[in-house]
Structure 1
């Protein structure tokens, strides 16, 4: 098996997209739901046999079907669609003469040509994520006597954020669609890693100094975070 393979497997609830991954770091076969693809990701250790992974999928077919049935319908960046920004919802409206994409009276006004609408919305969301999350990270770091070297946004599948030892922070741009308290928690989490590159007691103590939203943010991401992967 190659490092990554996509296929569709027929389970009891219907055809299911499955992505197979080989990982030298994996110690056991694992299975997780991929909200963006509406399917499953199976990770195999380097020496694991493919048949064991297939058995895992079929043995958990009921669980997979139940979890996939709970995924919200995907939302495309198209004219008339309602999309979240900071937890509030805005209707996408194509506004050819409107110039740069902007929020106005409950709408997201998007300029440019119709074929470019989806990309323009995506670009706007990523720019907003970079601006909002970056400013929040710098502010929290300054309050804690820390320094952020740079902030980047990416379209990650499994991480909302990360921090490198040299002070670079990364956030999933989709986080900008989540409620503000969720953004506040994730930013605090990554800023705390500037001092503590672990999840020990001192790390969590600093997180709670930086935000009052640890519990609410964690719960929202666990129960509703996957919905953000269905947008765009």
Structure 2
């Protein structure tokens, strides 16, 4: 994968070749505005650039609509399972970081506040997300071989053929219904390792509100993926998407 800028525009481009892609697709990274051009196996880079140039107006609109990354500082907010909490700095306290009422309280030097909030959120994810996976695995009679939480900005979850489930720790910030949809989506891959009709039928059996969850991720997911972001990724399911042909499901992680 390489990143470059076309001679006709200053917009940075990231190229991606996918054996699963059926058509050329453009996706906008919510954190830095980089355009990812995904090419099917037989598509040329020239055809990808032509599709890019033909849709410059759409790309510019998407980039202009990007929201600034959330700031982890005194008085700002962060969500935990969909609940909005205000970050409160308590410099003289000696309790570390704790959740009380509608706030997250952070003691110590203000310089360490962002890092301590992130550490608290990582801990909450480790406490809450594996239990949710086990709950749905039992209901779906699915048997994942392992569960891992990762610091990625590019996808909410993934599943391997060996049964390994990966979730973004940031999923702990989403409402429970959205969190459950992502988990159900990945567990359904243990029965159908594709996005066939049978796969979606299985997802909707356990998550009838799938469409609402996908809409929520499209509207809010890009912002959450920027919280404390330090990594890079290559596949963004919940930001601006344009495909050369009928639009595929935006829930393809």
TM-score above 0.5: yes
Alpha-carbon distance change, 108 to 41 in structure 1, aligned in 2, over 3 angstroms = same
- Note closer, same or farther for the CA distance 1:54–1:165 as it changes in structure 2 (3 Å cut): closer
Task: Work out which structure has the larger RCO, using CA pairs closer than 8 Å and 6 or more positions apart in sequence.
Answer: 2
> SS at the partner of 1:72?
coil
Partner residue of 1:152 out of 148, 164, 179: 148
TM-aligned CA distance change 1:59 to 1:196, over 3 Å: closer
Which of 36, 45, 48 is residue 41 of structure 1 equivalent to?
A: 36
More strand by share: 1
Q: Which runs of 5+ in 1 are unaligned?
A: none
Question: Which residue of 125, 148, 164 maps to 1:129?
Answer: 125
Q: Unpaired segments of 5 or more residues in structure 2? A: 229-253
CA positional deviation for 1:203: 2.6
Distance of 2:18 and 2:127 partners within structure 1: 36
Once the two structures are TM-superposed, the CA of residue 131 in structure 1 deviates from its matched residue by: 2.5
Would you say 1:20 and 2:14 are equivalent positions? yes
Q: Is the 8 A contact 1:84 1:178 kept in 2?
A: yes
In the alignment, the residues of structure 2 paired with residue 101 and residue 164 of structure 1 have an alpha-carbon distance, to the nearest angstrom, of 35
User: How far apart are residue 54 of structure 1 and its match?
Assistant: 5.2
CA contact (8 A) 2:18 2:38 kept: no
Deviation of the 1:161 alpha carbon: 0.8
Superposed, which structure 2 residues align to 1:117-196 within 5 Å?
117-196=113-192
1:231 positional shift: 3.0
> Counterparts in 2 of 1:4-15, with a 5 A limit?
4-5=2-3
The counterpart of 1:225, out of the listed 221, 227, 252, is: 221
TM-score, scaled relative to structure 2: 0.74
Partner of 2:250: none
Shift in CA distance, 217/22, structure 1 to aligned 2, threshold 3 Å: closer
CA contact (8 A) 1:163 1:190 kept: yes
> TM-score of the superposition, structure 1-length normalised?
0.80
Displacement, 1:63? 0.8
Residue 42 to residue 142, structure 1, CA distance change in 2 (3 Å): same
Q: After superposition, give the CA deviation of every residue in 1:156-194 in whole Å (9 maximum; x if it has no partner).
A: 333211112232211122222222211111111112222
1:57–1:145 CA distance, 2 compared to 1 (3 A):
closer
Residues 2-52 of structure 1, C-alpha deviations (whole Å, 9 max, x = no match):
x423669885xxx64x14335475787542110011332234679945x76
Match of 2:111 among 115, 140, 148: 115
Distance of 1:56 and 1:48 partners within structure 2: 11
Other-structure match for 1:82: 77
Residue 215 of structure 2 aligns to a residue whose secondary structure is: helix
Aligned length: 225
Over aligned residues, Cα RMSD in angstroms?
2.9
Cα 1:59–1:212 change in 2 (3 A) is closer
